[in-house]
Structure 1
Amino acid sequence: MAREIERKFLLAGDGWRPHAHSAKRLEQFYLFAGEDRSCRVRITDGASAKLTLKTGRGLSRGEFEYDIPLEDAETLRDSALGRVIEKTRHLVANGRHTIEIDVYEGALDGLIVAEIELTDEDESFEHPDFLGAEVTGDERYLNQTLALRPQVETPEPH
């Protein structure tokens, strides 16, 4: 079984920006979503698409991801639950890890969240100053919640 072990943080400023080495535009939406499972489609830079199935809750979850034809993803967009999430993902090298910083747009404009994927739940990593409060497990910051909740509270910058 494929596992995703991910910690999530709010940002404590823009100190990450000079360190971002690449960015990609993401559009994602959900086809179904339950308390402990979801099916998401993500379109990257308008050029490729993936279907992702996630199971479980919390820090470590099952994740199964498959390439799908872009045309299929665009057709499935019409079946999206809730809103289509639009964001730009910036990558920042951080020791042996990469921090992914998602800058949300549209209805979620103003929200910026950092994620770091780990190989083990207890794995340590460098904690740069721009990482603010940890929100791992806080359902308000799950992309599924952001897509399905009609009103989203955007946190004040630190």
Structure 2
Amino acid sequence: MGREIERKFLVQGEEWRSLGTGTQYRQGYFPTSPDCTVRVRVAGDRAYLTIKGKTKGISRKEFEYPIPVSEAEEMLEELCDRPFIEKMRYRIAIGNLVWEVDEFTGENQGLILAEVELEKENQAIALPEWIGTEVSRDPRYFNSNLARSPYTHWRDR
């Protein structure tokens, strides 16, 4: 069984930009229930189908499978809800961790999030200087919720 343990933070400043290269992501969500999300993602020249269970704390079940890009593009166009999640993802290795910084475009323009996957929920980590407020437990920042309620539509951002 796959499990994702992830902490998520707002990003502050510009220092992170020089630390990694970006890959364009485009992803959409299939109509699902609150207990399960199913997404299709095109990341550069690769594509994935991902199923995620309900979040408990900062953990959830996750299953991800590579699929042909042509099939992913067809699923995005014909089966997924709108708007899509569009972002540049930067992978930044610091020590033994890899931070993924997502700079959103489209309907979520202006939002920059950093996430780090952990081996256990109580794992101690050193936060880089460009890490701001933690939003791990705020469901508004889940990509599936950003697709339903985009950042540019929030009143209290």
State the TM-score, normalized to the length of structure 2: 0.91
Provide the secondary structure at the position in 1 that maps to 2:26: strand
Residue in structure 1 matched with residue 39 of structure 2 by the alignment: 40
Residue in structure 1 matched with residue 13 of structure 2 by the alignment: 13
Counterpart contact for 1:95–1:126, Cα < 8 Å: no
Residue in structure 1 matched with residue 154 of structure 2 by the alignment: 153
The CA RMSD measured in Å over matched residues stands at 1.6
Residue in structure 2 matched with residue 52 of structure 1 by the alignment: 50
Residue in structure 2 matched with residue 31 of structure 1 by the alignment: 30
Counterpart contact for 1:103–1:112, Cα < 8 Å: yes
- Comparing 115-124 with 10-19, greater Cα deviation is found at 10-19
Residue in structure 1 matched with residue 123 of structure 2 by the alignment: 123
How many Å apart are 1:152 and its aligned residue?
3.4
Q: Describe how 1:86-125 pairs up with structure 2 within 5 A.
A: 86-125=86-125
- Quote the Cα distance in structure 2 between the aligned partners of 1:85 and 1:4: 20
- Quote the Cα distance in structure 2 between the aligned partners of 1:12 and 1:106: 20
Corresponding letter in the other structure for 2:32: A
Gaps in structure 2 of 5+ consecutive residues: none
- Quote the Cα distance in structure 2 between the aligned partners of 1:28 and 1:149: 15
How many Å apart are 1:70 and its aligned residue?
1.2
Residue in structure 1 matched with residue 3 of structure 2 by the alignment: 3
Provide the secondary structure at the position in 2 that maps to 1:25: strand
How many Å apart are 1:126 and its aligned residue?
1.5
Corresponding letter in the other structure for 2:72: A
Corresponding letter in the other structure for 1:152: H
How many Å apart are 1:146 and its aligned residue?
0.6
Q: Describe how 1:65-104 pairs up with structure 2 within 5 A.
A: 65-77=64-76, 78-104=78-104
Corresponding letter in the other structure for 2:17: R
Percent of pairs with identical residues: 40
Gaps in structure 1 of 5+ consecutive residues: none
- Comparing 72-81 with 96-105, greater Cα deviation is found at 72-81
Moved runs in structure 1, 4+ residues, more than 6 A? Answer: none
Corresponding letter in the other structure for 1:94: I
Counterpart contact for 1:59–1:136, Cα < 8 Å: yes
- Comparing 133-142 with 78-87, greater Cα deviation is found at 78-87
- Quote the Cα distance in structure 2 between the aligned partners of 1:19 and 1:13: 13
- Quote the Cα distance in structure 1 between the aligned partners of 2:101 and 2:156: 15
- Quote the Cα distance in structure 2 between the aligned partners of 1:95 and 1:152: 36
- Quote the Cα distance in structure 2 between the aligned partners of 1:92 and 1:37: 29
